[in-house]
Amino acid sequence: MSPSTKMFLRLSCLFQTAANVLNRRAFSTSRVTCAQQMTVRDALNQALDEEMERDETVFLMGEEVAQYDGAYKVSRGLWKKYGDKRVIDTPITEIGFAGICVGAAFAGLKPVCEFMTFNFSMQAIDHIINSAAKTYYMSAGRIKVPIVFRGPNGAASGVAAQHSQCFGAWFAHCPGLKVISPYNSEDCKGLLKAAIRDPDPVVFLENELLYGTQYPMSDEALSKDFVLPIGKAKIERSGNHITLVAHSKAVELALEAANELAGQGIECEVINLRSLRPLDTQTIEQSVVKTNHLVTIEQGWPTCGIGSEICARIMESEAFYHLDSPIVRVTGMDVPMPYTKTLEGYALPRGEDVVTAVKKVLGAAPK
């Protein structure tokens, strides 16, 4: 191959990568040059496959996870590869199979308990909180509970009040649990692997609407050794005028708003929380000290939400003295999710809401 041909192919790859990033409006600090694109669904599947291959004590249990390949196809191919003993279909009884999974964790196995959606986890809340989250403490550290509760969380589309809500703040309230709320494919793969390896119970909150979305995966992320630390946020976009903090699909809103505001001379620093418990307060504080302004973004309800907790922690820290204006929260509306499509759209935060909040906090665009 001639040098000119090699140069042409390299430039073509660079231009294509740049176009993909601009189309997604996801300005990440990760290296994305010529990165492979992967859906969130496939990233989760890869994480499960790699951890089941690495450790024979890991197994998956839930409704339709085996022969049907999962309701959202996250477990595609795993039953054929690992068989009935490690990929186990259950009846529609969350309280039943969640209890079995917790008991298996007591006995030294590493169950991954899939809820078809986290709305159904309420049927199993006693096992999650009273059995999984508290047993290590109540046993004085003698009984570890290495279990992952995972599945789609947050607003879906057209499924109304009982199937469209965020449980991030619910579970983050409870000591004994670690709570993860990933955004893109790298988040999902690296953090799910970390959750499975963790000796404590982890609630892993995925987003149904992001399963089919493709994001760039670095060579590092494609490796079987790729694991992200639980409790560490990621700065998706650097800026010096205002800090935007979000998790899960709300990170997408923050990046879209940051892109729009950049055209008006406002540079936003976007923080992807990744973990809700433990919460990476240090990264938020450092950003606020730099930008002097803060907006939090989440799709959940406002009362006692993740944004409320961030506000409290900033108020109680040295970073409070660096704020030039009050913090503003952008959240879902404080109502059960409507079924009507138009009302559903109004019940969730939109990019324009973030833009309005930023301008409110700043008062006027920086010169």
Catalytic residues: 94, 163
Nearest C-alpha neighbor of 76 from the set 60, 90, 57: 60
Residue 320 per-residue DSSP state: G
Euclidean distance between CA atoms 306 and 246, whole angstroms = 9
Q: Which residues contact 181 (CB under 8 A, 6 or more apart)?
A: 153, 168, 205, 247, 248, 273, 274, 275, 276
Contacts within 8 Å (CB) and 24+ apart, 68-75: 70/114, 71/116, 72/41, 72/152, 72/208, 72/211, 73/41, 73/45, 74/41, 74/44, 74/45, 74/48, 74/114, 74/206, 74/211, 75/45, 75/48, 75/114
**267 backbone dihedrals φ, ψ, rounded to 5°:** -100, 115
Alpha-helix runs per DSSP H in 213-326 = 219-222, 250-262, 281-291, 306-315
Euclidean distance between CA atoms 242 and 265, whole angstroms = 12
| The three-state (H, E, C) secondary structure of 50-62, written as one string | HHHHHCCCEEEEE
Euclidean distance between CA atoms 336 and 332, whole angstroms = 10
Look-up of token digits 């609407």: 209
Euclidean distance between CA atoms 260 and 266, whole angstroms = 9
Nearest C-alpha neighbor of 213 from the set 188, 245, 184: 184
The helix or strand, by DSSP H or E, that contains position 97, with its residue range, turns out to be helix 94-106
